Structure 1
Amino acid sequence: MKNLIIFFILLSRCIGQIVDEKETLVLTNELNNKILAIHCKSKDDDLGDHYLAVGQSQEYKFRDNLWHTTLFWCHMGQGPDYKIQQVFEAYRSTWTKYVGYTYWIGREDGIYFRQDPHGLPLVKRYDWNLTAY
């Protein structure tokens, strides 16, 4: 009986995974006249390098894995020499709720965050780091 219950729990998760909506990760450049370099990846997926002009965004859509262990890290760097940068956890899956949209915005004074596309205020999460090459 116990094995049957476990089977049905796993089956419901698989079916739910098929019909679940995708998560959306959006990174936006709001720097003052600088290119924003971004590179995001997870354990399984490398989303590559992207260079955003002021006002541009890069959007990634994906589904959480079955075990809800999906984790994406992103690197942002300010052009032209990209010595001002930051690496951060951009998305972590959760069992308790559907996140939907995760926004990260690069500004001159730091990196801002919001999970609601409809007007919740941005929250500054990270300061920029200066790295020497």
Structure 2
Amino acid sequence: MKNNLNTKDTKTKTYINEVVLTVYSWEFEIIVNYVRIINDLGNIELVFHCKSKDDDLGLRGVKPAAYWEFFSRQNVFASTLFFCNFWYTNFDKITFRAAFVVFKSDFEFVKECGGDSCMWIARVDGLYKYNLQTKMAVKKYDWQRAVMNDDLLDFAGIKGVLSLTGIKDLLSFVGIKDLLGFAS
């Protein structure tokens, strides 16, 4: 019996000695992307809330003819995705909204951006994706008429964080309450 164990151990040792281990060195290129949101609504402030699975960029406002951008590193599995809720109120106190993916590390999506980064232009008639290579802006989304209530808070991703009264106070504090059509 002892001899069988030695034979087995010898075979195992021989087998291990014959195994060639190949080590692959993977280089992961860290790709940094930016998303730029441009307000081309005329003399109206654009309000939005962007987030990913891991990052909440918060409630933001962009003044007329200005832009805001954020930077993101693609994760190892190239599954980075950012989603934004947008809204603005026109001079007739009508609020419009839109919600969509502003960046996705997907070949077709990135191709439409013309590079690893995306630029979005908000205009009164809709939201446009700007291709960095062709220098062309293509309308991708229309605005939808919205009612400022708890549904819009949910849409903005802030329901449960602030009450409707709380958001009115917050918007008043940052100076955009009147632009969103809230009654005093």
Shared fold by TM > 0.5? Answer: yes
One-letter identity of the residue aligned with 1:57? Y
Q: Distance in 2 between matches of 1:40 and 1:101?
A: 16
Q: In 1, are the aligned partners of 2:42 and 2:65 still within 8 Å (CA)?
A: no
Which 4+ stretches in 1 moved above 3 angstroms?
79-82, 95-99
TM-score, scaled relative to structure 2: 0.59
Match of 1:68 among 58, 78, 102: 78
Which of 37, 42, 46 matches 1:32? Answer: 42
Amino acid at match of 1:114: Y
Residue 38 of structure 1: how far off its partner (Å):
1.4
Is 1:111 the counterpart of 2:127 in the alignment?
Answer: yes
Higher relative contact order at CA 8 Å, sep ≥6: structure 1 or structure 2? 1
Higher relative strand content? 1
Cα offset for 1:64? Answer: 0.5
Equivalent residues in 2 for 1:1-133, closer than 5 Å: 8=24, 12=26, 15-17=27-29, 20-79=30-89, 83-94=95-106, 99-116=115-132, 120-132=135-147, 133=149
Q: Do the aligned residues in 1 keep the contact of 2:47 with 2:61 (CA within 8 Å)?
A: yes
Cα drift, residue 109 of structure 1? 0.3
Greater Cα radius of gyration, structure 1 or 2: 2
Q: Distance in 2 between matches of 1:62 and 1:21?
A: 8
Distance change in 2, residues 1:95/1:106 (3 Å): closer
TM-score computed with the length of structure 1 as normaliser = 0.80
Structure in which a larger fraction of residues adopt helix: 2
The offset of 1:110, in angstroms, is 0.3
Determine if contact 2:28/2:76 at 8 Å carries over to the other structure: no
The unaligned stretches of length 5 or more in structure 2 are: 1-18, 150-184
Residue correspondences, number: 123
For residues 82 and 48 of structure 1, do their structure 2 counterparts lie closer, same or farther at Cα, with a shift above 3 Å needed? farther
